[in-house]
Amino acid sequence: MLGGIISAAFVYAIYHDAIEEYDDGTRQVLGPKGTAGIFATYPHEFVSNMTGFWDQN
């Protein structure tokens, strides 16, 4: 887990200028200029919590 956190910090540091240009300095999780998908993955609306739980085990 620590490796993932450190890796995400490196991605943010390396691509900071590109992210700033893309979202005009306004961080959004979702939406047309959402950038959270760079650092994590999110399930589709049709995936239930139980399916997500079993998928990750």
pLDDT digits over 24-48, tens only?
888 888 888 888 777 777 788 899 9
Provide the mean pLDDT of the chain.
Answer: 86
Total domains in the fold of the chain: 1
Burial class of residue 13 in the structure, from the number of CB atoms within 10 Å of its CB (0-12 exposed, 13-18 middle, 19+ buried): exposed
pLDDT of res. 46: 92
**pLDDT surpasses 80 at 14:** yes
Q: What whole-number distance in Å separates Cα of residue 36 and Cα of residue 19? A: 11
